[in-house]
Amino acid sequence: MSVTILTAASVNGIITPSRGECSLGLLRTLSVPRDVLEVQYALRRRHHAVLLGPEAVLVDDPSLTSHAAPGFDCVRVTLDPAGRIPPGYRILDGTVRTLVGVSAATPGDYLELLAARGIEAVSCGEDRVDLPGFFAALAARGLRDVLVEGGGRLNRTLLDQDLVDEVNVVVMPVVLDSASVNLFEGGEGSLRRLRLASCERLGESELVWLRYTVESAG
């Protein structure tokens, strides 16, 4: 199993201008050329599935069916044990393969909705989703290389549980409110050592792509 994080962050490590706000407008504000986004699409194509945190889904309502990558549909994955994603959200539209991490506490009517849309409910854990068990279940379904595209709390939870192999940060030339969401939001506060694997300026843009491998906590 391999888990890679990809996040765009400000110079001070913030991933959205304010809490509860969609982060996607930032790239427009910074006039980032579309071809620069090819980094994201290329990474998606190299992975079996893209995992998004529940709050990122609720705030951004992403489809993940990129118009910029014709002929490629990534497998979409999220966690939603409480059944909070509204039925009209794009990730639940049933147009591409989609898996949702649920638990023994997930409401029955939500499970029925997922089944009716052809969405695979992957049950792990009693209340929250047991993440090691969830990744094992994904691997058993042929999804062994997972790209995690945030948000910050999911990134942190995965790092704290020693489940991350690689961290990709696209640094945006901006400083944002430090009270907003950090790319590794919350957590246990223990120091985690990363190793720089590559560092690249994206085309002629002012974005820098940093790629790190993660040293095991043990």
CA distance 26 to 5: 19
Pick the piece of the chain touching ligand NAP (CB under 6 A) from 48-56, 68-76, 85-93, 203-211: 48-56
Nearer to ligand NAP, 71 or 209 (CB): 209
Among 5, 51, 114, 152, binds ligand NAP (CB under 6 A): 152
Q: How many CB atoms lie within 10 A of CB 142?
A: 9
Contact 33, 69 (CB under 8 A): no
Helix or strand or coil: residue 24? coil
Question: Can residue 59 be called a binding residue for ligand NAP (CB under 6 A)?
Answer: yes
Contact 215, 193 (CB under 8 A): yes
165-184 residues in contact with ligand NAP (CB under 6 A) are: 181
Q: How many CB atoms lie within 10 A of CB 204?
A: 8
Pick the piece of the chain touching ligand NAP (CB under 6 A) from 18-26, 113-121, 192-200, 210-218: 18-26
| Torsion over CA: 124, 141, 166, 40 (sign) | negative
Contact 153, 22 (CB under 8 A): no
Among 53, 110, 135, 166, binds ligand NAP (CB under 6 A): 53
Pattern of binders to ligand NAP over 60-99, x per CB under 6 A? Answer: x------------------x-x------------------
Pick the piece of the chain touching ligand NAP (CB under 6 A) from 14-22, 42-50, 136-144, 189-197: 14-22
Contact 165, 5 (CB under 8 A): no
Question: Can residue 13 be called a binding residue for ligand NAP (CB under 6 A)?
Answer: no
Q: Please, which residues bridge with residue 171 across strands?
A: 9, 208
Q: Given the rule CB under 6 A, which residues bind ligand NAP?
A: 7-8, 15-16, 21-23, 53-56, 59-60, 79, 81, 128-129, 131, 149-154, 157, 181, 185
